[in-house]
Amino acid sequence: MPEAVARRRSSIAAWAFSRGARFAADWDIFIVVAVLGGVFGALFTVQPVMMGLKMLTEEVLAPWLSLTLFNTPQYTALISRIIVEIVVAIVVLKFFVLSAPLLIWLERKVSGHIQSRLGPMHVGGFHGWLQTIADGIKLISKEDIIPSGADKVLHTIGPIMVVVAAITGFVVIPFGNELVPRDFNIGIFYLLAVTSVSVFGVVVAGWASNNKYSLLGGMRSAAQLVSYEIPRGVALVGVIMLAQSLQMSSIVNQQSGIGASEPFVAIPYVVFQPIAFIIYVIASIAETNRAPFDLPEAESELVAGFHTEYSGMKFAFFFMAEYGEMLLFSCVATALFLGGGSIPFVEGYIYAWTNGIFESMHVPFLIGFWHFPVFIIKTYVLVFFFIWVRWTYPRMRVDRLMDFSWKILVPWTFINLIGLGIALLPQFQPVGIWVFAAINWLIVGGVLLKAFKK
Amino acid sequence: MSAAVDEAKAAGKRIKLEEMYLNMGPQHPSTHGVLRLGILLEGEVIIDTIPDLGYLHRGTEKIAEDRDYMQIIHLTDRMDYLAAMNNNTGYVMVVEKLLEQEVPERAEYIRVIMQELNRVASHLLFFGTYGVDMGAVTPFLYGFRERELVLDLFEMVCGARMTHSYMRIGGVAEDLPSGFAEECKDFIDYFLPVVDEYDELLTYNPIFMDRTIGIGALSKDAAIAYGVTGPMLRASGVPYDLRKDEPYSVYDKFEFDVPTGENGDCFDRYFVRIQEMRESCKIVSQALDMLPPGKHQAKTSRIIKPPPGEAYLEVENPRGQLGYYLVSEGEPMPYRLHIRPPSFVNLQVLPDLLKGLKIGDVIAVLGSTDIVLGEVDR
């Protein structure tokens, strides 16, 4: 490209961007109100729209298709399912893609206020809400540098593997009642398998960069992720034992009481499994490479760890994957321990009550419309906790990190598992599980008391 | 790892090991300036460290031979740029020693206030950067927030925030402005509870203690043998502080403690500095109460020509003992000015401290020595 043309083109892009930014700054209040309103509205409409769509395809589209194009019923069923699932896939992808910039903005604001500063304040006018978008544009337009001596193919594959592992995990998340993109009967198993793929991406990226810091970062990361995979996986086994199922929707329904013959007090599994929940959250922080476990990208030691040699959009992929994983692990914790989109303890009664009303009003797709927003609120409380921890604690040392996983978390998960197994024996029912929960909470209270005592 | 290797070797197994050479710096986020470390690694274990200096060498000592005595003051600002007041004081004191110049008492008190405030500012920056080295970013901003208030006080006094050049031969450049004492007392009242907050945030954090206690321990004998001074020496358990043991200026009139450590590890080096901030505040508030009226500057000749001779003088800087050796031949410019920089001497210990530690500890140890490369290279 001739220089003059390049300059002109870049100046046009700069002009367009500055005009856009100025427009956003001028109308910021309206835009923010519209965006917030849209997001808030979308939260409450996702569930009804999806259920309505399902009903529409099953009751209207399928008969119509069978009349016109296909006579065989298998094809009709297949096509209507494909349509529904394409929409679901788009919803999931949008959830990931829209959440990453929001989370990055949130992290910058929260960290700013923790550190007695304001965080981004200018881009877009209202509290810098466009900051991540502007950063994204900057990263996309940056040159993609592959260092000489690096393995070009693997250098490209690394970030893709990481980001794909983060996205595909969302497939089994039960966002709400019947709002599960793909409700495998081995949901938890699938989740654990898919999320551990990101280790390979990190190792590949570290190795392919041809940089000693990257290599050290990648190796550290491999050791760390593999050792924290075990307590994380074993902590979930307790939930599987309680629910006697690997299917995400069935686990959530057993905590909320949906599908039960009569309403009962909905108890989230965190009541029975507080130790497992805490271990799961700690291991999740380690899995997402965030402080205090951010050794693979320890800035003060390894420059930027495995992504030292990455620039532009490839770097943004690592960044997005980190936030995507954070969101994913929060979603999983919400679904498995906090009862998903249900309102704790009273869900069974509310559900039964509203069910009757909506049935009589002939709007069955409104049933459980609060599930998605409640799920999101629970998830973001956990996300806030992740951010809070990151900006409070120093980094652990490598050997201590390993000690912590193998000598503290792993034994405790197994103790918890054995205890739960004993408590679930038929001869101890129905008191056993409550005694077990009480012991669990006593241990948690003791640890907390010890931690906060001066 | 090396223990396992030794066992395997003792069992007669052949193990081929490859050492890795890791170049850390001069562009690296946490070498605190342009220090380059060549590190020989065996896995993640350090077997040798070679510090490489000179990236910030400006030839201060040589330039000083070409400037008159007043002009050298601003050169000393730029050595340890985090403690410019202390550097200034040391230099003007060595010239005064050569001149046998009397200094008004008020000026001595002002000098003490400035030095101690600068010690607080310097240790605050250490607190912040050490937090970042340990992976906690938040203390960094807290440290800078409080340091800003000290810099505001300096700005009030002399107009500059970093390179003050406030001291003059025979006194200080200007008297304290009106309202300074109140501002300074307000700062101390605000600051002392904040130090307790730091302790809760970082010092007694289990992860932080885990990373620093027992790491890079420097024994008493080794510290003395290497000539280590300042908080590093005191962390090793030697209660040696020039302000107490060989009081210069008016330091003998104040009551303060010399905090010491026991093991000389990273935590002790850190904690000695935190305690020193409290002691400095004590000295400042005493000095403000005792501040005598009078002139801030003695009468000196317009062109300073010390009689032929030589003088050596050390002052207690935030980083250790800063020594000036000045030789005069009766000319308006010194014949020779040699500087003993505390950071340079303290940095010598680094390869010894790092041997056998893990790569993650490099930063913990390097940060705890609290060097300023401007002073190491001069």
For residue A408, what pLDDT is reported? 87
- Which residues in B lie closer than 8 A to residue A294 (C-beta atoms)? 135
Rounded CA-CA distance A282/A231 in Å is: 9
**pLDDT higher than 80, residue A454:** no
Average pLDDT of chain A is 79
Instruction: Give the range of the structural domain holding residue B30, as residue numbers without chain letter.
Output: 2-52
Residue B263 and residue B310 share a domain: yes
| Amino acid identity for residue B267 in this structure | F
Residue B125 and residue B27 share a domain: no
Residue A355 and residue A414 share a domain: yes
Q: Tens digit of pLDDT for each residue in A364-381?
A: 666 777 777 888 888 888
Residue A175 and residue A253 share a domain: yes
Q: Which of A26-30, A82-86, B203-207 has the highest mean pLDDT?
A: B203-207
- Which residues in A lie closer than 8 A to residue B211 (C-beta atoms)? 394-397, 400
- Which residues in A lie closer than 8 A to residue B142 (C-beta atoms)? 115-116
Residue B133 and residue B33 share a domain: no
Q: Which residues of A294-323 are buried (b: 16+ CB within 10 A; e: fewer)?
A: bbbbbbbbbbbbbbbbbeeebbbbbbbbbb
For residue B136, what pLDDT is reported? 82
Facing residue for A299 by CB, picked from B20, B29, B360: B29
Residue A155 and residue A111 share a domain: no
Residue A282 and residue A216 share a domain: yes
Q: How confident is the model at residue A8 (pLDDT cuts 50, 70, 90)?
A: low
Residue B165 and residue B25 share a domain: no
For residue B254, the distance in angstroms to the closest alpha carbon of chain A comes to 33
Q: Tens digit of pLDDT for each residue in A376-434?
A: 888 888 988 988 888 888 888 777 888 888 888 899 899 988 988 888 888 877 787 88
Below-50 pLDDT ranges, chain B: 1
For residue B22, the distance in angstroms to the closest alpha carbon of chain A comes to 7
- Which residues in A lie closer than 8 A to residue B20 (C-beta atoms)? 212
A394:B134 CB<8 A: yes
Which residue in chain B is spatially nearest to A401 when comparing CA positions? Answer: B207
Say how many domains are in chain A.
2
Residue A183 and residue A118 share a domain: no
A292:B360 CB<8 A: no
Residue A158 and residue A103 share a domain: no
In this predicted model, which residue has the larger pLDDT, B154 or A38? B154
Residue B256 and residue B235 share a domain: yes
Residue A452 and residue A345 share a domain: yes
Residue B181 and residue B225 share a domain: yes
Residue B9 and residue B158 share a domain: no
Residue A64 and residue A180 share a domain: no
Residue B115 and residue B47 share a domain: no
Q: What tokens does A157 get?
A: 């594959």
- Which residues in B lie closer than 8 A to residue A216 (C-beta atoms)? 22, 44, 359
Instruction: Give the range of the structural domain holding residue A236, as residue numbers without chain letter.
Output: 147-454
Q: How confident is the model at residue A212 (pLDDT cuts 50, 70, 90)?
A: confident
Question: To 5 degrees, how large is the angle CA A442–CA A446–CA A450?
Answer: 170
HEC profile for chain B?
Answer: CHHHHHHHHHCCCCCCCCCEEEEECCCCCCCCCCCEEEEEEECCEEEEEEEECCCCCCCHHHHHCCCCCCCHHHHHHCCCCCCHHHHHHHHHHHHHHHHCCCCCHHHHHHHHHHHHHHHHHHHHHHHHHHHHHCCCCHHHHHHHHHHHHHHHHHHHHHCCCCCCCCEECCEECCCCCCCHHHHHHHHHHHHHHHHHHHHHHHHCCHHHHHHHCCCCCCCHHHHHHHCCCCHHHHHCCCCCCHHHHCCCCCHHHCCCCCCCCCCCCHHHHHHHHHHHHHHHHHHHHHHHHHCCCCCCECCCCCCCCCCCEEEEEEEEECCEEEEEEEEECCCCCCCEEEEECHHHHHHCCHHHHHCCCEHHHHHHHHHHHCCCHHHHHC
- Which residues in A lie closer than 8 A to residue B207 (C-beta atoms)? 292, 393-396
Residue A134 and residue A157 share a domain: no
**In CATH, what number is assigned to the domain containing residue B342?**
1.10.645.10
Domain end among A120, A141, A162: A141
A356 neighbors A273 (Cβ within 8 angstroms): no
Residue A296 and residue A153 share a domain: yes
For residue B141, the distance in angstroms to the closest alpha carbon of chain A comes to 6
Least confident of A8-12, A163-167, B282-286: A8-12
Q: Is B162 on the interface with A (CB under 8 A)?
A: no
Q: Tens digit of pLDDT for each residue in A171-198?
A: 888 877 767 777 788 888 888 888 888 8
Facing residue for B133 by CB, picked from A213, A300, A396: A300
Bridge partners for A46 per DSSP: none
Task: Tally Cβ neighbours within 10 Å of residue B127.
Answer: 26
For residue B120, what pLDDT is reported? 92
Residue B133 and residue B35 share a domain: no
Residue B307 and residue B327 share a domain: yes
**pLDDT higher than 80, residue A2:** no
B202:A394 CB<8 A: yes
Residue A186 and residue A76 share a domain: no
Phi, psi torsion values for A350, nearest 5 degrees = -60, -45
Domain end among A88, A117, A141: A141
Domain end among A123, A141, A159: A141
Rounded CA-CA distance A351/A368 in Å is: 7
Q: ipTM score of the complex?
A: 0.74
B22:A398 CB<8 A: no
Domain end among B11, B36, B52: B52
Residue B124 and residue B41 share a domain: no
Q: Which residues of B240-253 are buried (b: 16+ CB within 10 A; e: fewer)?
A: bbbbeeeebbbbee
Residue B100 and residue B14 share a domain: no
For residue A38, what pLDDT is reported? 65
Say how many domains are in chain B.
2
Residue A188 and residue A115 share a domain: no
**3-state DSSP call for residue A262?**
coil
Facing residue for B135 by CB, picked from A395, A398, A400: A395
